[in-house]
Amino acid sequence: MNDTASMIEDLEELVRCESFSSDLEAVARSAKVVAAMGTRYLGTAPEVLMIDGVTHLRWSFGTPRVLLLGHHDTVWPIGSLATHPWSVVDGVARGPGVFDMKAGLVQTFHALAGLDSLDGVTLLVTGDEEVGSISSAPLIQETARGLAAAFVMEASADGGALKTARKGTSLYHVNVHGKAAHSGLEPEKGANAGIELAHQILAIAALGAGATTVTPTALSGGTTLNTVPAAATVGVDVRAAEVAEQTRVDAAMHALRPVLPGTRLEILGGPNRPPLETSMSAGLFAKARELAAGLGLEPLTSASVGGASDGNFTAGVGCPTLDGLGGVGGGAHADHEHVIVAEMPGRTALLRALIEAVR
């Protein structure tokens, strides 16, 4: 069986094992499939790490120098295979999680299997990336600290571009506490949390500047049509390309003060992932371009993206990080999610060359 055919077979096996992040039993089943596949290719079983009910896998060989990082959970609820079945038509593979990021896992195993030695390599496959890496973040940081490089096997950007910068994310909940009153008989005796929330939403939205986005999202408040709201809340999503900007917005969020007498604010949350700044990827990207040319691949391009990944964590602890080395295709999290099969062997060869160059 040639490389492409075996990759398709492996990809089908992973995609057919649904792994919705919020279903921990499904994630555990997926981990068993990923562990078995990795054992076949790497010759040894992984360390199985259960953290807060989430199943993560780690393989380590010799003294760590290079981290390969991926995740096996997806955003697709169990049963999505019925509406988005696995298929390969005209060289395009489709199915839940095929692009984000099960193709990247297949390429990783094949790249490692082709090395003369695995010495210096650590492979970490987490189970909760799609829901913020709450349980795996400390594990990722611990594993990456002090290494020469982290290669993140997330899907590529448009046209196969590698991801050399990612915005950091911060997540907040702003809770307004007011005082209820009858809205017809004595509204003046209340403290309207809804009006206070409106003031805060405008103030929060004004914190965005340049590439930094500050977006009020899910909001709710009040109980009945004839009651002054005693409580209201809004979620806030912040994306910043630089640590300084993330810090500025965090300070401003926690400095918010109520406008209406009788109301009180509660600000919860903060930075979730630090930015992956271009300075942390520049050297590795230059090396990747050189290696791609030597392999006869199309010239590599790079992209800065707003979405975060676990590569933000590796860069945040000072580990040079190159992201987007996984599948080439598109439609992450969407109905048209797909992978271009013909690109898989070349990307696999590139990863193998990168590992050999830096470990």
- Active-site residue list: 73, 129
Sheet containing 121-126: give its strands across: 47-51, 54-60, 121-126, 66-71, 149-152, 321-322
CB 267 within 8 A of CB 240: no
Residue 20 is encoded by which pair of tokens? 């919705």
- Burial of 13: CB neighbours in 10 Å, binned 0-12, 13-18, 19+: middle
Instruction: With CA atoms as reference, report the closest residue to 274 among 304, 323, 303, 311.
Output: 311
CB 264 within 8 A of CB 258: yes
Cα four-point dihedral sign 216, 173, 241, 129: negative
CB 73 within 8 A of CB 20: yes
Alpha-carbon distances of 148 from 27, 100, 166, rounded to whole Å: 30, 25, 20
